[in-house]
Structure 1
Amino acid sequence: MPSFKAMRSFVAAAKYRNFTRAAEALCVTQAAISRQIRDLELYLNTELFIRTGREVRLTASGTALFDAAQLSLTNIFNATERIRRESNDKRTLTLCCSPAFSTMWLAHRMKEFFSANPDLDLNVITTQHFLAMEPGVTPDIFITKVFDLRPGFERIPLFHEVVYPVCTPAYLQEHPEVRTMEGLRESVLLDLNPYGRSQLSEQVDWNVWFSFQNVDVQIPASHSPQYFSTNDYSLLTQMALDDQGVALGWDHLIGHLLEQGKLVRPVAEQLDLKDAVQYLLIDEKKADDPACRRLKEWLIAQFA
């Protein structure tokens, strides 16, 4: 294996594309960086950089090494930071949830949590694949629909999902026809597609939603509205906020936007998915840990 010092010098040089700047970042001399890079190239028997004046750029071999080395150094840094934090007075808890839940539900509530718990740090990991977690990731608490995720976790139901159309007040004023189901059906619909979302929620797209409302979804081709589809729920919500159409809103994710008046419900109809329950899963071994219990009780209280 090459020396750790040589790999660190190489990553810095590759990042800044300049040996002098790399030396400044690592608080060493430019000659030291050059020597480490030269030794590494001799060890590998290949050139890693193409020198062009003061700037350097990676060769194909250098690019391959940089991709692996940068990731490895990042993983080492993250691991040492976790260990360092665990050795101080603060506790770091790990919460795992979906990307949409972290962005649209958790983010704007974190200030309240930290104000009430100044001695706790929170590490949030998001995933769309709860059944295929990366090795080494051991969350204390999950927020997920996958209740049989793994043995040894206590399951607490939080809420069932409720889905209804949403748009901005401005869009509703410009398109008053969306106040009716027929007008809504023929409007610009922002749709959620199922790609990669099988472990996140019931697949409710506009066709499913209209079917549950007993509305014929067959629209004449001459009246076919503009259509947009993505599996990124945050993107759909942002497009709705930008007056670009009507999206389906999951109540627990966009309820605060309704309260703020940024979004409105053009129709009263909604879909109550009684069987689509989101759970809080907590490691049974940590259920009585005071720090974990505080996070658990805070999360439960948000849905009380």
Structure 2
Amino acid sequence: MRKLPPLSALRAFEAAARHGHFGKAADELCVTHSAISHQVRSLEAALGAELFEKRGRMQHLTDAGLRLLHSVQQALDIMAEACGNAARPGMSGALKISAPAELAHRFFPRLIGEFAQRHPGITLHLLVHDSDSREINPAADITILYAMGDTDWTRYWVVPFQAIDFFPVCHPSLIEGEGGLRTPADLARFCLLHDDTDGKTWATWLGTFAASQPAPARNIHFAHSGLAIEAALQKTGVCLADVLTAGEELKSGRLIRPFRGAVPSPGNYYLVAERRKRDDGRLASFMGFASLTPYLCEIDSPN
């Protein structure tokens, strides 16, 4: 038999740690301030360690309290999820997906709309994190990260996207007329739309396909490629895109590739989830969704 502290003491500790205040924890759990104090003291006695230290009117976690908090929160989440699954069998509940801004803006809205039609019992949440983030979003069930090939994924369930290439795209009107965009050399007369601050991606493409040509004089830098593609749709200039961020616009003809030539992305996108969620039917259904799988490598879930 597992020797564990009472669940009530762990809940009181978690609420007090999250609020940093025993009174607010008491209000959340509908008990008295003294009840929270008693539960915390009993937990400290059981563990033989002080979990809080008082500074003014606030309660601050000790090092031991900080170590305990993360594990307790995970355990409570697992229990809540298990109870929810028991009460609502089948494909129901919430599924939270966190994506970098460019994919949240250009790739996932259509896809999650189709998924929602297929699974009406699942409530979907599309969250956005910084494009440069290398950490999973703790508020999400699935996080899409852009990372290099040497990233250590041993702690997670990971499904990589197919490798992507970057290629120029523009509004169809930019290739029309006598001064239209027809060859890489013509780029010198157009505005380049960047999705980075240093222009490295365009520099790589130009170095490969237009090395002998003068560099374009006009440049605009955006926070992410979704914004650069939006500017291209507004006829502002030419941007580099890939099949994830510009696939729908290329299919519809709203954007075109003025000429061939692509450079491989130095990194790749990955679907990342905690290993303990491998058996969650909602995650498995999303990762195996027919509209998503053509963009993914073969799913090989870790044991």
TM-score (norm 2): 0.61
Residue 268 of structure 1 deviates from its aligned partner by 0.8
Describe the shift of the 1:239–1:252 C-alpha distance in structure 2 as closer, same or farther (beyond 3 A).
same
1:211–1:217 contact (8 Å) kept in structure 2: no
1:162–1:272 contact (8 Å) kept in structure 2: yes
Distance 1:120 1:149 in 2: 31
Q: How far does the alpha carbon of each residue in 1:146-167 deviate from its partner, in whole angstroms, 9 at most, with x for none? A: 3747653122222112111111
Of 199, 202, 208, the residue aligned with 1:206 is 202
Distance 1:303 1:296 in 2: 11
Distance 2:177 2:231 in 1: 16
Verify: 1:92 aligned to 2:66, yes or no: no
Percent identical? 18
Q: How far does the alpha carbon of each residue in 1:221-270 deviate from its partner, in whole angstroms, 9 at most, with x for none? A: xxx53322222322211111111111111221101101000000111111
Distance 1:176 1:101 in 2: 33
In structure 1, runs of 5+ residues without a counterpart are: 5-81, 196-202
Of 184, 188, 192, the residue aligned with 1:189 is 192
Verify: 1:238 aligned to 2:230, yes or no: yes
Describe the shift of the 1:241–1:300 C-alpha distance in structure 2 as closer, same or farther (beyond 3 A).
closer
Match of 1:216 in 2: 212
1:152–1:283 contact (8 Å) kept in structure 2: yes
Residue 217 of structure 1 deviates from its aligned partner by 5.5
Q: How far does the alpha carbon of each residue in 1:171-201 deviate from its partner, in whole angstroms, 9 at most, with x for none? A: 2214654211111233221222238xxxxxx
More helix by share: 1
TM-score (norm 1): 0.60
1:158–1:300 contact (8 Å) kept in structure 2: no
1:96–1:126 contact (8 Å) kept in structure 2: yes
> Size of the alignment, in residue pairs?
212
What secondary structure sits across from 1:237 in the alignment? helix
2:174–2:180 contact (8 Å) kept in structure 1: no
Verify: 1:260 aligned to 2:263, yes or no: no
1:131–1:149 contact (8 Å) kept in structure 2: no
Verify: 1:291 aligned to 2:287, yes or no: no
Describe the shift of the 1:192–1:131 C-alpha distance in structure 2 as closer, same or farther (beyond 3 A).
closer
Of 160, 165, 171, the residue aligned with 1:162 is 165
2:112–2:124 contact (8 Å) kept in structure 1: no
2:194–2:225 contact (8 Å) kept in structure 1: no
1:155–1:282 contact (8 Å) kept in structure 2: yes
Describe the shift of the 1:277–1:175 C-alpha distance in structure 2 as closer, same or farther (beyond 3 A).
farther
